Amino acid sequence: MKNKIIVLMMALMIVGLMAGSAAASDWEAVGGLSITTVTLDQWNAKVDSVNEVLSAEGSPLLIDSTNKEEMDNIDKVPMFFIGAEKEINDKWSTEFRYEYIFGTVEGSADVTYDLTAVGGSAGTSKHEAELDVKMHGLAALAKYQINNNWSTRGGIGFYNGTKTKKVSGPVFVAKGVADDNEYDLDAISYRLGVGYERSFAQNWSFNGNIDYLLNFRR
C-alpha cells in the first residue's frame, strides 16, 4: 500500500508540473468536473442489505419502519480531473490527468424491532447508515478529431482509494454489521467516448463528452 501511495504521489507531481508549465510549452492545461458511471456490484449489495433493515423487510426481527430514507445504489459519482493535453498532429492528441472520484450515500429510519429471539431487546430506535467512496487515479487518453466539432477518444485509468461504512442501531448490532469499516479499493477503467465542441463567442466554447467505462473492477 505504501509503495502504491508513493508511486501515485510521484505521478501526481508530474501531472502538476505538466499542467503548470502548459502555457510555456506545447502542452495545454485541462480540468473540469464530470459525472462518471461506475460498477460496484459488491458494494451495492451492502447498500441493499442496509435498506432491508431501514425498510423493515427480509427478517422476522423487523416489524415496521417510519421516517424512512433508503440509500441509493452507487452507480454515478462526481469526478474532478486536472492534467495536460498535447496535440500530436492535426487529428490526434494525447492527454494525461489526475482524477478524483468521490461519492457518499446515506440512509436512516425509525425501526421497530423485536430482538428477544436472539437475546436482544424490543422497541423502536433510530437506525442510520453511511457509505462513502473516495478514489485517486491517473488516466492516459488518446483523442481523434473527426471534424471541427466531433471527436472520439479512449484510454485507461488506474485508481486507488477507500470505501467506508458507518452504521448505527440495535438491528445492525444484532446482524453483526454495526462496526465502522474502511476497505482498500483498487480499480482499472477502460474507456471509450465521443465529444462535441463548438465555439459560440470569442474565447468561449461549449464542450460535451460522453465516456463509457468498459471495465471498473474493485
In-domain check, residue 128: yes
For residue 204, give Cα distances in angstroms to 129, 143, 154, 198: 44, 21, 25, 9
Length of the chain: 218
For residue 56, give Cα distances in angstroms to 16, 151, 177: 49, 49, 16
pLDDT reported for residue 8: 52
AA letter at 89: N
Range with the largest mean pLDDT of 60-64, 120-124, 186-190 = 120-124
In-domain check, residue 124: yes
In-domain check, residue 197: no
Q: Indicate the range of 1-5, 44-48, 137-141, 208-212 predicted with least confidence.
A: 1-5
**Tens digit of pLDDT for each residue in 133-158?**
888 999 999 999 999 889 998 999 99
Q: Which residue has the higher pLDDT, 124 or 43?
A: 124
Name the domain count of the chain: 1
Quote the percentage of the chain above a pLDDT of 90. Answer: 24
CB-CB contact of 70 with 111 (8 Å): no
pLDDT at 6 over 50: no
The whole-angstrom separation of Cα 148 and Cα 198 is 8
The whole-angstrom separation of Cα 185 and Cα 152 is 29
| Overall average pLDDT of the 182-200 stretch | 81
Q: Which residue has the higher pLDDT, 39 or 31?
A: 31
Q: Is 139 exposed, middle or buried (0-12, 13-18, 19+ CB in 10 A)?
A: buried
Q: Domain span at residue 60?
A: 2-134+161-188
In-domain check, residue 205: no
CB-CB contact of 93 with 143 (8 Å): yes
CB atoms within 10 A of CB 188: 13
**Tens digit of pLDDT for each residue in 84-111?**
999 999 899 999 999 998 888 899 999 9
pLDDT reported for residue 193: 83
Range with the largest mean pLDDT of 48-52, 112-116, 176-180 = 112-116
Give this prediction's pTM.
Answer: 0.72
In-domain check, residue 100: yes
Q: Is 181 exposed, middle or buried (0-12, 13-18, 19+ CB in 10 A)?
A: exposed
pLDDT at 2 over 50: no
In-domain check, residue 83: yes
The whole-angstrom separation of Cα 203 and Cα 195 is 19
